Amino acid sequence: MGYYKYLRQTWQTLPDDVLRERLIQWRREPTFLRLDKPTRLDRAHALGFKAKQGFVIVRVRIGKGTSKREKPAGGRKPTKSGMYAMTPVQNLQHISEMRTAVAYPNLEVLNSYYVAEDGRDIWYEVILVDPNHPCIKADPKLNWICEPANRGRVFRGLTSAGKAHRMLRGKGKGFERRNRPEKR
């Protein structure tokens, strides 16, 4: 087996007490925390991370589940007021990528991956790239992200989590396929 396969197995068999202590510490940290290196090195490399200048890893904490809304003024049926079960339209990973892009406006989101969760929060690590960095501009495999057409790609659903939200994973073409009438 290769090195990354051993890393993946180690991550999958992490003892509960180690994970519990890690989450207790992470809850006290800010919502966006810039890291020196990825927590899951195998997953980060699989998604395009390189240990070079111009790459940034940020751990993001986002609340799980439905969000309780403020009570609206005016008469409504209680079931229609939408106070308790406001389910997000997008998946939480895509929402965390977009929030990270707002917090770091000069960087572009390359991808993200799951790290951990507890009963209240879920943590993702987002891989960000600086499109103005000389090391990124000189890399022929990465300089596509420097083009103006790729600015704000996370807000257009072009990351992996965004494509999953748009149902472009697997067979078919997502919304396009479903709404088109059948040809006979």
Nearest to 110 by CA among 123, 122, 101, 99: 101
β-bridge pairing 55-63 and 121-129: antiparallel
pLDDT for 168 equals 84
List the chain domain ranges.
8-67+79-174
Q: Are the beta carbons of 113 and 183 closer than 8 angstroms?
A: no
Give residue-wise pLDDT tens across range 138-160: 999 999 999 999 999 999 999 99
Strands 121-129 and 108-117: antiparallel
Per-run averaged pLDDT (10 residues), the chain, 184 residues: 85 87 94 95 93 96 79 73 74 94 96 93 96 94 92 92 84 58 58
The CATH number of 8-67+79-174, from 3.30.930.10, 3.40.1120.10, 2.30.40.10, 3.20.20.140, is 3.40.1120.10
pLDDT of the residue at 166: 85
**pLDDT at 49 (0 to 100):** 95
Please give the Cα distance from 150 to 116 (Å, whole number): 29
